[in-house]
Amino acid sequence: MAKKQFKAESKRLLDLMIHSIYTNQEIFLRELISNASDAMDKLCYLSLTNDKVSVNREELAIRIIPNKENNTLTVSDNGIGMDQKALEDNLGVIARSGSLQFKNDMSETEIKPEDIDIIGQFGVGFYSAFMVSESVAVITKPYGSDIAYKWESTGADGYTITECEKDTVGTDIIMTLKKDTEDENYSRFLNDYTLRNLVKKYSDYIRYPIKMDVEKSRPVENKDKDDEPKYETYIENETLNDMVPIWHKQKSEVTDEQYNQFYKDKFFDYEDPIKTIHISTEGVISYEALLFIPSKTPYNYFTKEYEKGLQLYSSGVLIMDKCSDLIPEHFRFVRGVVDSQDLSLNISREMLQQNRQLQVIASSIEKKIKRELSKMLENDREKYQEFFKHFGIQLKYGVVSEYGAHKDNLKDLLLFYSSTEQKPVTLAEYISRMKEEQKYIYYACGETITKIDHLPQTEAIKDKDYEILYLTDEVDDFVMNILHEVEGKELKSVNSDDVVDKEDREAAQEQTKENKDLFDFMKESLAGKVKEVRISEKLKSHPVCLSSEGNISLEMEKYFAQMQSDQHMKAERVLELNAQHPIFNMLKDAYENDKERANKISEMLYNQAMLIAGFSVEDPTAYTDLLCELLSK
Ligand code: ADP
Ligand code: MG
């Protein structure tokens, strides 16, 4: 028999194909299974349009037959098969897709093109078999014919077609596999375990059963009566795939239990998700999605190891394991799958050709997640608080990221601890409780709720019965700065100098002027540690507090210090004194009569203000000595 040659371009293309299109050898199985599924689909479509064609759908199945002795793997189907011309056209010409042709042909019939859900379209998938095979034989018998054919090739060298024997209609693809190493007896693609996993991973939702004989063992009665348990091995013809993806089902057909089990199996969590979102939409681009919010922060969530993304399927075949474009950074905790028939895949089917389709889906998904979270916030506050405990910080990072591009979208989802409600509240709830004359939304940052509650600066605001938001996350101060205002209400730190009434402020300014000499002296004695010393309008019963001027707040300074960045971000400190406090008179007295003592009191007051603001004093021993010295005189 004469060997027919691939055309020159074909030869190069095949080489290119085998070595560069696919990043992953293992997808060859996905491609052959997809072809088998297409072949059976074609038979079914044919029977719909042609009375003479009858199929028994029940009997259609894909078989995977590993043979370790011969080092061969066979993928077999009872689909439409190929005649000699089809073999020449489809397997002899690279990048010719019989399946695409079939779809076009079907457009002449009453079946609508969008209803034809055939996977193949590029005409290259078959050749991926050569990535793992030394040679490939295709034995096929077309529907309605008595003659079977055998196509054989070692890849680059062309192919032969001969007539042969085959009892049943359909196609067997027989691959003689490459061995990974010389001394291996057979390829790793012949292990039951590997094959089962590959089917699960890529082809779990192929609509026909994928069957394989699997060796199993079962306990048998022990006739010897010793205590050793006895087992026998037997062969079971196992169906490897689930066939119907859970997300294709109606919500009413799936129990919570089933959703949870699916989540745990697929994403290796041992706890149920806190929220399941099942989406099925039709529109410019139709898709189905099944999304989950984990109930706890994954252990590696804040490490580089954690990759965001959703699994992307096209008509039930896995395309991408972690498609990160489908989920915005601020919802990166969401896991799940997306399935769409409307994607234009690239030739390797590992990527998409068009990003626009992804963008449409991604933006729709983002809206759905936001809506579900809002619903939870409204209807199940306890659950939402639990969610927020784990992922609230992610939402806050979302607010500050990209210069606040997402802040309007996310601000309603934020919770902050309220001084008056003594529980987390939303900004909207705060606003609804604001006093008539109250201008600002007040907040205070600190390490713990208790510490913030005791901050001297909060006193004046509490006196007016205003609510204060207590912020304990490092990022909170940035969040407030980026948000700046909500519903026309400005957000104000209790450290700001205009938190109180105008009269109070003017009085404080007046007193500051009166004591200018003293304050200049203090500034000098504190040797550059503070930018300014002044009388505070905020303090009621406490002697001192620390505040800041300029763009960097005290909280930001702490945050940057923790990041250990090279940049030395320091707040400009302002030491604020309470003119009503006895210590202030003592200070003034010392300033007039004993400058040395005034020096020491300044030092002490500064250190106290530092402690209250949550900083540590530079030299605790010196500070303690100083206090004791002052007290004992
Ligand atoms: P595609 O699936 O994208 O069309 P392939 O290279 O995977 O490209 O397959 C090329 C063509 O070979 C298919 O379009 C189909 O016509 C034919 N073919 C491949 N495998 C089979 C099979 N098992 N049964 C029938 N036809 C097949
Ligand atoms: Mg194919």
- My answer on whether 73 and 134 are in the same domain is yes
Main-chain dihedrals φ then ψ at residue 33, nearest 5 degrees: -65, -40
Q: Return d(Cα 606, Cα 626) in angstroms, integer.
A: 12
Strand 532-535 relative to strand 572-577, pairing: parallel
Q: Return d(Cα 424, Cα 476) in angstroms, integer.
A: 14
CA of 339 to the centre of ligand 1 (A): 23
- My answer on whether 492 and 507 are in the same domain is no
Inform me whether the pLDDT recorded for 567 exceeds 70: no
66: Cα separation from own chain's centroid: 37
User: 109 versus 456: which is more confidently predicted?
Assistant: 456
CA of 119 to the centre of ligand 2 (A): 7
Given 465, 499, 533, the domain boundary residue is: 499
Which ligand 1 atom sits nearest the alpha carbon of residue 42?
25
CATH code at 449?
3.40.50.11260
Which ligand 1 atom sits nearest the alpha carbon of residue 36?
23
User: 27 versus 273: which is more confidently predicted?
Assistant: 273
How many Cβ atoms from other residues are within 10 Å of residue 479's Cβ?
24
* Most ligand 1 atoms within 8 A of CB, residue of 6, 17, 29, 38 to mutate: 38
Residue 106, in any domain of the structure: yes
Inform me whether the pLDDT recorded for 476 exceeds 70: yes
- My answer on whether 625 and 512 are in the same domain is yes
Inform me whether the pLDDT recorded for 358 exceeds 60: yes
Q: Say which residue the tokens 């604020």 belong to.
A: 576
181: Cα separation from own chain's centroid: 38
* Most ligand 1 atoms within 8 A of CB, residue of 94, 106, 126, 145 to mutate: 126
Q: What percent of the chain has pLDDT over 90?
A: 61
User: 349 versus 628: which is more confidently predicted?
Assistant: 628
Helix residue ranges, H only, 50-128: 84-86, 92, 98-106
List pocket residues of ligand 1, CB cut-off 6 Å.
31, 35-36, 39, 77, 79-82, 90-91, 97-99, 120-126, 171
Residue with CA at minimum distance from ligand 1 atom 15:
98
User: 457 versus 412: which is more confidently predicted?
Assistant: 412
- My answer on whether 534 and 571 are in the same domain is yes
| pLDDT tens digits along 82-124 | 999 999 989 887 767 888 888 788 777 777 766 667 778 777 8
Inform me whether the pLDDT recorded for 497 exceeds 80: no
Residue with CA at minimum distance from ligand 1 atom 18:
35
pLDDT for 598 equals 93
CATH code at 587?
1.20.120.790
- My answer on whether 258 and 230 are in the same domain is no
CATH code at 135?
3.30.565.10
Give the count of alpha carbons within 13 A of 522, CB side only: 29
Sign of torsion over alpha carbons 391, 396, 397, 401? positive
pLDDT for 315 equals 77
The average confidence (pLDDT) of the chain is 89
Ligand located closest to 39 CA: 1
CA of 126 to the centre of ligand 2 (A): 6
- My answer on whether 59 and 97 are in the same domain is yes
CATH code at 304?
3.30.230.80
pLDDT category of residue 181 using cuts at 50, 70 and 90: confident
- My answer on whether 44 and 142 are in the same domain is yes
Mind giving me the DSSP string for 416-454?
EEETTTSSEE-HHHHHHH--TT--EEEEEE-SSHHHHHT
- My answer on whether 510 and 584 are in the same domain is yes
* Measured CA distances, 494 to 443, 540, 559 (Å): 6, 13, 18
Inform me whether the pLDDT recorded for 294 exceeds 90: yes
pLDDT category of residue 319 using cuts at 50, 70 and 90: confident
* Contact status, residue 36 vs residue 116, Cβ threshold 8 Å: no
Residue with CA at minimum distance from ligand 1 atom 23:
36
pLDDT for 379 equals 97
Which ligand 1 atom sits nearest the alpha carbon of residue 75?
23
Inform me whether the pLDDT recorded for 19 exceeds 80: no
Residue 621, in any domain of the structure: yes
Given 455, 481, 499, the domain boundary residue is: 499
Residue 78, in any domain of the structure: yes
* Contact status, residue 63 vs residue 101, Cβ threshold 8 Å: no
CA of 118 to the centre of ligand 2 (A): 9
CA of 151 to the centre of ligand 2 (A): 17
- My answer on whether 62 and 195 are in the same domain is yes
CA of 97 to the centre of ligand 2 (A): 8
Residue 161, in any domain of the structure: yes
* Contact status, residue 241 vs residue 200, Cβ threshold 8 Å: yes
pLDDT for 288 equals 94
Which stretch, 2-6, 228-232, 312-316, 515-519, has highest mean pLDDT? Answer: 515-519
Strand 335-339 relative to strand 310-314, pairing: parallel
Residue 188, in any domain of the structure: yes
How many Cβ atoms from other residues are within 10 Å of residue 502's Cβ?
9
Residues around ion ligand 2, judged by CB within 5 A, are 35, 120, 125
| pLDDT tens digits along 508-542 | 899 999 999 999 999 999 988 999 999 998 888 89
* Contact status, residue 228 vs residue 201, Cβ threshold 8 Å: no
Residue 403, in any domain of the structure: no
Stretch 217-234: mean pLDDT, rounded? 83
pLDDT for 355 equals 76
Q: Return d(Cα 209, Cα 57) in angstroms, integer.
A: 11
> Which residues, other chains included, contact 627 with Cβ-Cβ below 8 Å and sequence gap of 6+?
604
Which stretch, 3-17, 37-51, 413-427, 442-456, has highest mean pLDDT? Answer: 413-427
| pLDDT tens digits along 385-402 | 999 999 999 999 999 999
Stretch 146-158: mean pLDDT, rounded? 90
Residue 410, in any domain of the structure: no
Residue 340, in any domain of the structure: yes
195: Cα separation from own chain's centroid: 28
Stretch 183-203: mean pLDDT, rounded? 92
Q: Return d(Cα 103, Cα 80) in angstroms, integer.
A: 14
Inform me whether the pLDDT recorded for 212 exceeds 90: yes
- My answer on whether 477 and 601 are in the same domain is no
C-alpha angle 106-110-111 in degrees, rounded to nearest 5: 60
Ligand located closest to 81 CA: 1
* Contact status, residue 60 vs residue 41, Cβ threshold 8 Å: no
Which ligand 1 atom sits nearest the alpha carbon of residue 100?
4
- My answer on whether 511 and 493 are in the same domain is no
**What six digits make up the tokens of 408?**
């309007």
Number of domains in the chain: 4
Element containing residue 120 per DSSP (H, E): none
pLDDT category of residue 7 using cuts at 50, 70 and 90: low
Q: Return d(Cα 309, Cα 323) in angstroms, integer.
A: 5
Range of the structural domain that residue 224 is part of: 10-239
Ligand located closest to 173 CA: 1
**What six digits make up the tokens of 370?**
């936001």
* Most ligand 1 atoms within 8 A of CB, residue of 84, 99, 105, 172 to mutate: 99
* Most ligand 1 atoms within 8 A of CB, residue of 17, 27, 97 to mutate: 97
* Most ligand 1 atoms within 8 A of CB, residue of 90, 116, 314 to mutate: 90
| pLDDT tens digits along 227-255 | 778 899 999 999 999 888 899 889 999 99
Stretch 500-505: mean pLDDT, rounded? 78
Given 499, 531, 554, the domain boundary residue is: 499
- My answer on whether 569 and 512 are in the same domain is yes
CA of 32 to the centre of ligand 2 (A): 7
Give the count of alpha carbons within 13 A of 128, CB side only: 24
